[in-house]
Amino acid sequence: MAYSDKVVDHYNNPRNVGSMDKSRTDVGTGMVGAPECGDVMKLQIQVNSATGIIEDAKFKTFGCGSAIASSSLATEWLKGKSVDEALEIKNTDIVNELALPPVKIHCSVLAEDAIKAAINDYKTKQGAPVSAETVSH
């Protein structure tokens, strides 16, 4: 299969690889997919709780080149966005940006799911009744 230049670039130079401390209340973690399906994405965001802006994003992905590229691109797009803006990212944006072929659309869906899961996790933490780090509200 021929990959687009952008997929190859993200595969060769993945952006924002890494892990954050998932116990922190300003960190949201999304883990989607399953090993037997051939792809698992872990996407994490660190949010400035005063401004609601995503200040950092990290990923780790087990999956094909398109899955790696989709999650790498997602972290690039997440940084600097507000949580609400981040929810606007659609899998079709990723498909278009990376020129993914039809058989790889599920990779972009997985990346969108990972973004939503990470934001959901962050919001759940923020809504938690007792948290020493959410005094600013």
Partner 1 sequence: MSKPIYFDNHATTPVDPRVLEAMLPYFTENFGNAASRNHAHGWVAEDAVEKGRKQIASLIGANSKEIVFTSGATESNNLAIKGVAEMYAEKGNHIITAATEHKAVLDTCKHLEKKGCRITYLPLKGDGLVDLDMLRDAITDKTILISIMYANNEIGVIQPVKEIGKIAKERGVLFHSDAVQACGKIPVNVIEDGIDLLSITGHKLYGPKGVGALYVRRKNPRVQLTAQMDGGGHERGMRSGTLNVPGIVGLGAACEIAQREMPAESARLRALRDRLRAKLEANLEETYINGTMEHRLPNNLNMSFAYVEGESLLMGINDIAVSSGSACTSATLEPSYVLKALGLGDDLAHTSIRFGLGRFNTEAEVDYVAQKMIDVVNKLRELSPLWEMFKDGVDLSKVQWTAH
Structure-token pair, residue 98: 């990376």
Pick the closer one to partner 1 by CB: 34 or 130. Answer: 34
Which residues, at least 6 apart from 109, have a Cβ–Cβ distance to it below 8 Å?
91
In degrees, rounded to 5, the angle at the alpha carbon of residue 58 between the alpha carbons of residues 88 and 73 is 50
Alpha helices in 13-104 (DSSP H): 65-78, 83-86, 91-98
Name the β-bridge partners of 29: 44
Tell me which residues touch partner 1 (CB under 8 A): 3, 8, 11, 14, 17, 19, 31-42, 60-65, 67-68, 103, 106, 109-110, 113, 117
Closest approach of partner 1 to the CB of residue 11, in Å = 6
Secondary element (H or E) of residue 6: helix 5-12
Pick the closer one to partner 1 by CB: 23 or 136. Answer: 23
Closest approach of partner 1 to the CB of residue 49, in Å = 25
Q: So which residues are the catalytic ones?
A: 37, 107
Pick the closer one to partner 1 by CB: 36 or 84. Answer: 36
Closest approach of partner 1 to the CB of residue 24, in Å = 17
Q: CA–CA separation, 32 vs 10, rounded Å?
A: 20
